[in-house]
Chains A and B, each alone.
Chain A
Amino acid sequence: MKPAEKNSDHPAWLAQARDLLDESAQALDAATLSRLNRARQAALEQRHRRLPRPWFLSAGLASACVLLLAMAVWHVRTPGPVATGPALSSAPAAASSSFSSNDMDMVSSDDSLELYQDLEFYAWLEAQDQDSDG
């Protein structure tokens, strides 16, 4: 790039000034040039260390999303512990399916827990009634 003062009133001494400054820059000693070289390499290494960061960020974010999605799917598909209780296995299929569909209602309900603790008795009572009707 050529200097910009070509058309000034002092092109000769400005050209000489440029030459003198260039000479001083070219004549730097070896120790100074070595320090400049180390500074340049350190600056470039800094950039090299910074480059992978976005890739790792993206990978971490993607892994977190996949894990979150998997947990959500597993939570929706897994029945609650009350519906799979062994005591209900002898109850009629209709009653069992009814309990399964009402898992969340039972968990979130404010009704007395005693009712749910006696479910086994109510299931037996209903079975007795059906036997006597039959």
Chain B
Amino acid sequence: MSGRVNVVTTDERTLDQFLKHVERRALRMAEMATGQRDEALDLVQEAMFGFVRHYASKPATEWMPLFYRVLDSRLNDWHRRRTVRGRWMAVWTHNADDDEADEIAQAPDTNDPGPLLRLAGNEAGQALETALTRLPPRQRQAFLLRVWEGLDVAATAQAMQCSQGSVKTHLSRALASLRGQLEEFA
């Protein structure tokens, strides 16, 4: 019986360490996707709950792509809800004279790279953050998972629930777009 308890404790400790390892990067990814810290925190929390509920019993070697798969689903849901809300808002305010002002208000604030980079005063960091937030969501996620998190093509495809060819395409376009934007900043 004590052996069983020890196994459970070890599993929970391993799970805790894994979540601690990925939580900061997950938050930054969600923040770049949503442009809002609070929304990002909520999405990461939902991803943790979903991952623990559905995939914690899987081998630890499979956790990384599975966690990002859950997070990616939450981010996609968030974008869908935002799109639907944007359509309703567009219909609601169709006759208003300040349509342009509303679109600007709903757009992510790409000039605000976040308090950390602002405090560091790092122009390169700001430029990268801005360039990443301007990328289409799938390209940004492919770049972050492949280049930052270091997942291989197969694991990235599993996380993004797409083919490996799609991952390569998204990453190629992301790299080209980022390089172009960063050269403009330089």
In the complex, whether B8 has a CB less than 8 A from a CB of chain A is: yes
Tell me the complex Cα distance, A44–B49, Å. 8
Contact A18 B148 (CB under 8 A): yes
Contact A8 B175 (CB under 8 A): yes
Contact A21 B28 (CB under 8 A): yes
Interface size class on chain B is 35 or more
Contact B122 A20 (CB under 8 A): yes
Question: How many pairs, one residue from A and one from B, have CB atoms within 8 Å of each other in the complex?
Answer: 108
In the complex, whether B162 has a CB less than 8 A from a CB of chain A is: no
Tell me the complex Cα distance, A20–B12, Å. 31
A26-34, A60-68, A76-84, A93-101 - interface stretch: A26-34
Contact B151 A4 (CB under 8 A): yes
- Give chain B residues whose Cβ lies under 8 Å from the Cβ of A4: 146-147, 150-153
In the complex, whether B15 has a CB less than 8 A from a CB of chain A is: yes
Tell me the complex Cα distance, A121–B10, Å. 79
Which of A4-35 touch B at CB < 8 Å?
A: 4-5, 8, 10, 13-14, 16-18, 20-29, 32, 35
Tell me the complex Cα distance, A43–B122, Å. 35
Task: State the A residues within 8 Å of B (CB).
Answer: 1-5, 8, 10, 13-14, 16-18, 20-29, 32, 35-36, 39-40, 42-44, 46-48, 50-51
Can you report 17 residue pairs joining A to B where beta carbons are below 8 Å apart? A2-B150, A10-B175, A16-B124, A17-B147, A17-B178, A18-B148, A20-B124, A21-B144, A21-B148, A24-B28, A24-B117, A25-B25, A28-B27, A32-B27, A39-B48, A46-B49, A46-B53
Task: State the B residues within 8 Å of A (CB).
Answer: 8, 12, 15-16, 19-20, 23-25, 27-28, 37, 41, 44-45, 48-49, 51-53, 56, 64, 114-117, 119-120, 122, 124-125, 128-129, 144, 146-153, 175, 178-179, 182
